[in-house]
Amino acid sequence: MKISNTGLELIKKFEGCRLTAYKDSVGIWTIGYGTTTADKAITGTIICQGLQINQIMADEWLRKSVDQKYGPKVDKYSKYEWNQNEFDALVSFTYNVGSIDGLTASGSRSKEDIADKILAYNRAGGKVLPGLTRRRQEERALFVTPVKKEGWVKEDGGHWRFYCSGKYVRNEWYQDGDKWYWFDGAGHMVRDTWRQCKGSWYYLGFDGAMIKGCVKAIGSEVFAFGKDGAMLEGEIKLKTNSRGAITI
């Protein structure tokens, strides 16, 4: 899984960005969003006195660090099947703390317990820090926020649904681009079947899209469909295109 912009912005908010190298609280040369020489395998750079970078490089190093170092530490516990908000929150946590091994008790805690335990990681040197408290609160809030589904989603069981503003289309036609689909009462896209609408018959192909403007063999019969997708009846005129294919 990859971190979203929401997760990146959360990290940026609490890490802050400095484009000139400085010594952190324990004397380690640091730059950007907390990048040090320990990240040399990712950045290819030794962080030292006098080093300066631009914002583009700082953002690039953050993204590479997240994708190559911190994201995998969360993916390590893929058995939880993290959603995007959970993943983003835990990558921010990991970027600050180092891992989620302790938070998850090596994968033995439930998601509910993990959400509660996030708030406990607000100390440094044995003292509660307001900045860490705020960070943990925002990470937990993101962790427990349900993900709003949008667009095409393949649900458990292999059924496809189409979500608009968090709600799936059901019992109606829906146009996506130049293609039309029908969704049943459960919101599942139907395919390889006929559908009657306002006295006309339409056929939904193997991918669920309405067949339009062609001649198609369905089972042991051949059918013709107009440009609007309606099955044609009676006498029709056929022609071929430059490739010799029959068109309506």
List Cβ neighbours of 24 (8 Å cut-off, separation of 6 or more).
30, 34, 36
Coarse DSSP helix, strand, coil percentages of the chain, rounded to the nearest 5 percent = 30, 25, 45
Cα 91 to the center of its chain, rounded Å: 14
Smallest CA-to-CA distance from 85 within 117, 111, 121 is with 111
Cα–Cα distances in angstroms (integers) from residue 90 to residues 25, 103, 182, 207, in the given order: 24, 10, 38, 36
Task: Assess whether 138 carries a catalytic annotation.
Answer: no
Catalytic residue among 15, 138, 150, 235: 15
CA-wise closest residue to 135 among 4, 32, 10, 5: 10
SS3 170: coil
Active-site residue set: 15
